[in-house]
Amino acid sequence: MSDTHSEQLLSEVAALPALPGVYRYFDADGQLLYVGKAINLKRRVSSYFHKDHGGTRIGHMVSKIVRMETTVVRSEAEALLLENNLIKALNPKYNILFRDDKSYPYLKMTGTHGKVAAGAPASASFPRIAYYRGAVEKKHRYFGPFPNGWAVKESILLLQKVFRLRTCEDTVFSNRTRPCLLYQIKRCSAPCVNYISPEAYAQDVLDAEKFLQGETQQVLDALQARMMAHAERLEFEQAAELRNQMSALSAVLHQQAVDNVSDKDVDILAVQVHGGRACVNLAMVRGGRHLGDRPYFPAQVEDATGVYQADVDDEQPPAHPSVEAQVLEAFIAQHYIDVPVPPTLITSEPVSQSLIEALSLQTGVRISAVHQPREQRRIWLEMAQKDAGIALARLLAEEGSQQARTRALVDALGLVPDQLDAFRIECFDISHTAGEATQASCVVFQGHKMQSAEYRRYSIEHITPGDDYAAMRQVLTRRYSKMVEAIRQADNGTQDATGAPAQGADEGSTGAAAPASAVRLPDLVLVDGGKGQVSMAREVFAELGIDLSLIVGVEKGEGRKVGLEELVFADGRPKVYLGKDSAALMLVAQIRDEAHRFAITGMRAKRARVRVGGGKLEEIPGIGPKRRARLLQRFGGVRGVASASVQDIATVEGISKELAAEIYRALR
């Protein structure tokens, strides 16, 4: 294997220290192949180049290595943490990757404990509960994370039923003159009109927090003591209210059916592997309540597990971990980088002690992992395993269906792609309202699924309003002219080191630049329209020297009924009707509808900015999306902000008097 690598690379390997660290492998295009950790860098990395890996996956990876980077650290725990930070940030090709760009939702309780500052609005004395997703702020209290938004909303509903806390915005609270419907249905105590004292409301807030933290018995005992005290003073109405509160809380606890209340905060992790895919199902217990679960599907399972097996040979562990254990360890290491770790993890597979120790070191909290649990924990794990199997079966069925649709479309059009999994479709649509705020959309289908990260919108300008043909000409020219030029430069060897321009990225499009290695023409270009749009696309492709057979128009059928669409070809072939039950037509319709949705949402946003000047706020230095949203919410729109005084604007959270004066001047 070493004969295929440069002398410089082999000398770097030979010079590595026998210390713990992290190594990274790159191919000739600079693409990151793999990130690994080692207790002994020299021994571990040398094993890749001095052993014969044959035609295995690891052998295929090692043959691509042309460059290496290493980082020496102080311990195995530090190496493990750095390894998984790099994996999550850089997405190496041969590592098991868990991608999740969504933050977890929390339940937020506004305000902090203690006295309310003098001069504070009345709403500050009555904290509200709310759904929240984003970065936490110290001035509020947060409970969670929750596995999904439904779990948060269900918890808010429970708190409304039992403790009758408010959920309204402060602006609504401050302007109420009579209680709302929530008071009538006994979901709020109406603090907005002083139907409850700040002291009594504060007690309800405290009880709600104890409930969320799992201190349910203490809450019940306190409620019972207060109920008896009211009864002794012959305050039967107040005693009845507390009795109803206890009944509601008892009903909630009975529904939860949590027998082992000592487990207040636990994560249950179950993994299933089948058909080359894997699913890790994460179930959460918070405050002693089972809040539900959330499935995760890693990428590169087959490639990564092959590399991992070779990677651990050098350390000679007691036994190779199973594929399930490898996937589970990868999830734990990557997932808890930026998510709070509960003190107990219940796992369907045994995980390495070094990983758990590294997590404990990172969080400063003693964490334990329990494999083969008993009693209530076992019930939780069995539920999580069953849900993981269901989620994985659903994924495989969906992927199988999409693959069948891709194959059906390829066969129907007589195409012969190099690889079906890499078959790429780009679809364009034009959207406007009577010529106003014209936008074009480009959506991408590849790997049997929509690739939302590669979607682009184009603002269409300098055309006759409502001229869809001119709009289509402009977007296709902007999309493919630079792409063709980048490919031509690459073929001539004149491309600079920084890479070619993005696929169609220019001043009027939204999206990040793509590396040169990613620039490629699609295998099929769909345009939403009939002969006219296809003729315009044919002219653009002829000017650019692109194969006309790539272009297919989706022409609506008789009466514009769904399922009667016909395909129109730019290269002169007769129109094709696939049939309303055709899998190929289902895929075409799916992609076409997504392009239409993406175009119309962009058009509506642009039209709204044109009509009400919503974009003017973000043009003011110091005004970003959050401050803009607060201003619009406070004053009901840009016109409201423009008519407000400097003093009124300065009352908005995050707006200083200086910035308020700047906003006042800019909008006038």
Q: What is the C-alpha separation between 130 and 142, in angstroms, rounded? A: 10
- Indicate if the pLDDT at residue 259 is higher than 90: no
Average pLDDT (12-27) is: 92
Higher pLDDT, 255 or 201: 201
- Indicate if the pLDDT at residue 363 is higher than 70: yes
Among 176, 174, 388, 380, CA closest to 289: 380
Task: Compute the half-sphere exposure of residue 606: CA atoms within 13 Å on the CB side of its CA.
Answer: 21
Question: Average pLDDT over the chain, rounded to whole?
Answer: 81
Residue 260's pLDDT is what? 44
Residue 614's pLDDT is what? 47
Residue 262's pLDDT is what? 63
Residue 434's pLDDT is what? 64
Residue 319's pLDDT is what? 54
Would you identify the CATH topology of the domain 420-609?
Answer: Nucleotidyltransferase; domain 5 (3.30.420)
pLDDT in tens, 460-499: 888 887 788 999 999 999 999 988 888 877 767 644 433 3
Average pLDDT (215-240) is: 76
Residue 102's pLDDT is what? 61
Residue 474's pLDDT is what? 92
- Indicate if the pLDDT at residue 317 is higher than 50: no
What is the residue-wise DSSP string for 282-348? EEEEETTEEEEEEEE--B-HHHHHHHHHHHHHTT--SSPPPHHHHHHHHHHHHHTTSSPPPSEEEES
pLDDT in tens, 414-451: 777 778 888 999 999 988 766 666 888 999 999 888 99
- Indicate if the pLDDT at residue 348 is higher than 60: yes
Average pLDDT (13-29) is: 91
Residue 612's pLDDT is what? 46
Phi, psi of 306 (to 5 degrees): -65, -45
Q: What is the C-alpha separation between 317 and 353, in angstroms, rounded? A: 13
Higher pLDDT, 275 or 533: 533
**8 Å CB contact between 567 and 578:** yes
Average pLDDT (3-7) is: 77
**8 Å CB contact between 198 and 114:** no
Q: Tell me the CA distances in angstroms from 468 to 104, 532, 590, 631, one per residue in order.
A: 42, 9, 22, 37
pLDDT in tens, 158-198: 888 888 899 998 888 888 889 888 998 888 999 999 999 88
- Indicate if the pLDDT at residue 531 is higher than 80: yes
What tokens were used for 128? 């509200």
Higher pLDDT, 80 or 59: 80
Residue 607's pLDDT is what? 54
Which parts of 364-467 fold into alpha helices (H)? 375-413
Q: What is the C-alpha separation between 436 and 507, in angstroms, rounded? A: 20
- Indicate if the pLDDT at residue 651 is higher than 90: no
Architecture of domain 266-393: 2-Layer Sandwich (3.30)
Does the global pTM surpass 0.85? Answer: no
The most confident of the ranges 23-27, 283-287, 437-441 is: 23-27
- Indicate if the pLDDT at residue 384 is higher than 90: yes
Q: Do domains 266-393 and 420-609 have the same CATH topology?
A: yes
Residue 516's pLDDT is what? 44
Among 444, 447, 415, CA closest to 549: 415
- Indicate if the pLDDT at residue 101 is higher than 60: no
Q: What is the C-alpha separation between 512 and 554, in angstroms, rounded? A: 29
Average pLDDT (28-47) is: 90
Which class does domain 2-90 fall in?
alpha beta
- Indicate if the pLDDT at residue 306 is higher than 90: no
Q: What is the C-alpha separation between 546 and 638, in angstroms, rounded? A: 46
Question: CA torsion, points 357, 361, 367, 369, in degrees to nearest 10?
Answer: -30
What's the alpha-carbon Rg for the chain, to the nearest Å?
A: 30
pLDDT in tens, 189-210: 999 999 998 888 988 898 888 8
Q: What is the C-alpha separation between 627 and 660, in angstroms, rounded? A: 11
3-state class (DSSP) for residue 565: coil
- Indicate if the pLDDT at residue 117 is higher than 90: no
- Indicate if the pLDDT at residue 555 is higher than 50: yes
Lowest-confidence range among 140-144, 303-307, 357-361, 642-646? 303-307
Phi, psi of 355 (to 5 degrees): -65, -45
- The residue ranges of every structural domain in the chain are 2-90, 108-256, 266-393, 420-609, 613-666
Q: Tell me the CA distances in angstroms from 394 to 282, 346, 387, 443, 454, one per residue in order.
A: 17, 24, 11, 25, 25
Higher pLDDT, 607 or 502: 607
Question: What's the CATH superfamily of 613-666?
Answer: 5' to 3' exonuclease, C-terminal subdomain (1.10.150.20)
Lowest-confidence range among 107-111, 411-415, 649-653? 411-415
Write down the residue that tokens 């989706």 correspond to: 554
Buried b (16+ CB within 10 A) or exposed e, 20-49: bbbbbbbbeeeebbbbbbbbbbbebbbbbb
